[in-house]
Amino acid sequence: MTSRPRNAIVLARISDARGDGRSVSDQVRDARELADRLRWGIGPDDTHVLREPDTSAFKRRKVNVPGKTHPEWRVVRPEFRRALDMLVSGQADGLIAYDLDRACRDPRDLEDLIDLVEHACAGLPVESVTGSLRLSTDADVTMARVMVAIANKASRDTGRRVARAARTRAENGGHHGGTRAFGYENDGMTVREDEASEIRRLAAALAAGKSLRALIVDLREREVPTVRGGAWQSKVLRDILMNPRVAGLAVHRGEIVGKGRWPAILDEDTWRAVAALLSDPSRRTTPGNAPRWLGSGIYACGTCGDTLYCSGRGGGGKDRRPAYRCRSHHTGPSHVTADARALDRHVIGELLDRLSDPAALQVLNSRHDPHGERAAEEDLASAIAKDETRIRQLRAALADPDAEDIDDLRAAIATLKERIADREARLAAVAARPTPLREFTGGQDAAEVWTSLDLARQRDILRLLARVTVKPSGPGRLPNSLRLPDGTYRIPPERVRVEPL
């Protein structure tokens, strides 16, 4: 390609809009001046002047790559890739950048540009304002490769120094910056009390058995704002409650490295218990349609053994009352049809009889912690904290220029990490054990406590305490003795078997 370009591309990039040498607009102006001196034509501004503000030419992230079965680490630069596509397709016939390191800082990107110049678009002119980017001769190509390798090494050195400084700042309890954390002011050190009280309330509700979905519904109904002003979602709430920052712990690259200098919103034991609950893989975050009746999918048919589900009762008009029926009604008459309100009322009465008895409660609580595992929860949390302190001490020794036995220090750190992982898994298993009876141990009236619980919580207690089997109704009408003042009926006790588990 010997003719001068008529539709050349201008590629301008800065890695940080807060200050990274010449601005994008400055680079574009200088590139246009160079094009005028070279008598090149630049294509339309909206298609051929490609701007990359706040774009790193070094940092990589995992992306899907055509022809590859797994994601790979790549520098993500859509505008640079667009420039290559335009050059290959003939939409553009030249490239001007301000400097080589504005165009390429990753060897793979440079090689893609070299392949294009040498093969796909042989002789394609490439220029830069500083003169550092030319690919017209073998010497130009070799020099470009050397300079990109040096620039890449400089980026790695900078990244290492920044990472080390960030780790030191975290180990010293400093704030890492970034988006404001829910519960704290913009400085990261001052508690925002209205949000902190929400975190405490949410942690207590979660520990008491509330679901994330129920908590999210409550936050939305009370119009509690998020940090960014968007709607509450399970991921947003999970990230807040699982963030070690709320326990006053400093984190670097996902690892707790010490105590922060900011006030804790939750004590560490409470935070670890909540984090363990949210880490439990058995917790379903997309449970589908929520049941609206206590025993739907839990009560069993006394004839076929299938579970009962609640639906509108046969008939029509005012007689279409909610009723439990077994699955057999899909292929014929249901073995069991029971008024939903009457049956739930009977089962709740049976459960409250047990929950109101202190001796029975003690037996139930011990049954669900047969080995005293919860008594070990505090010991596990304490042991984890001691191991983390020991790791920080070993790292400090490792950083000493005169340190000896470096391999032994590293081996000791690895051993402690394995032990922490094992103890955290055990702590998660203990914290995830169902404890749905804790509300009933405070001496309050069992009926009042039951009424205060949401339906999901009540269903958990039902599953834990009893197996309910419902028999078919006998012939004839219900006797008047079962009629209640409001006109409804009690279900005949002989139809319902509530077996303790």
Token pair listed for 256: 């707790």
Three-state secondary-structure class, residue 399: coil
d(C-alpha 118, C-alpha 105), whole Å? 20
Q: Tokens 């390191």 belong to which residue?
A: 101
Q: What is the pLDDT of residues 458-491, one digit of tens each?
A: 888 898 888 999 998 866 566 666 767 766 678 8
Q: What pLDDT score was predicted for residue 330? A: 56
Three-state secondary-structure class, residue 452: helix
Three-state secondary-structure class, residue 230: coil
Q: What is the pLDDT of residues 404-431, one digit of tens each?
A: 778 888 888 888 988 888 788 777 666 5
Q: Give the homologous superfamily in CATH for domain 8-154.
A: Resolvase, N-terminal catalytic domain (3.40.50.1390)
- Mean pLDDT for the stretch of residues 10-23: 70
Bridge partners, 256 (sequence order): 251
Three-state secondary-structure class, residue 462: helix
Q: What pLDDT score was predicted for residue 67? A: 56
> How far from 127 is each of 56, 100, 117, 409, CA to CA, in Å?
21, 9, 12, 52
- Strand-strand pairing, 126-128 and 95-97: parallel
d(C-alpha 55, C-alpha 43), whole Å? 23
Number of neighbours of residue 174 by Cβ within 10 angstroms? 17
Instruction: Decide: 77 and 83 in contact? Cβ < 8 Å.
Output: no
Could you give the dihedral angle defined by the CA atoms of residues 94, 96, 99 and 100, in that order, rounded to the nearest 10 degrees? Answer: -20
Three-state secondary-structure class, residue 93: coil
Three-state secondary-structure class, residue 142: helix
Confidence category of residue 16, pLDDT binned at 50, 70, 90: low
| DSSP label at residue 62 | E
- What is the amino acid identity at position 175? H
Q: What is the pLDDT of residues 345-399, one digit of tens each?
A: 999 999 999 888 887 777 776 665 544 555 566 677 888 888 888 888 888 887 7
pLDDT above 80 (res 5): yes
- Mean pLDDT for the stretch of residues 432-446: 68
244: left (phi over 0), alpha (psi -120 to 50) or beta: alpha
Instruction: Among 9-18, 87-96, 132-141, 220-229, name the one with the lowest average pLDDT.
Output: 9-18
pTM higher than 0.75 for the full model? no
Token pair listed for 30: 């200088």
Number of neighbours of residue 202 by Cβ within 10 angstroms? 22
Q: What pLDDT score was predicted for residue 282? A: 54
Could you tell me the strand order of the sheet in which 9-13 lies? 49-52, 9-13, 95-97, 126-128
| DSSP label at residue 118 | I
Please give the mean pLDDT across all residues of the chain: 82
The CATH code for residues 193-279 is 3.90.1750.20
Please calculate the CA angle 186-191-196 and round it to the nearest 5 degrees.
115
d(C-alpha 260, C-alpha 263), whole Å? 8
Nearest to residue 256, comparing CAs of 238, 237, 275, 230?
Answer: 275
Please calculate the CA angle 62-89-15 and round it to the nearest 5 degrees.
40
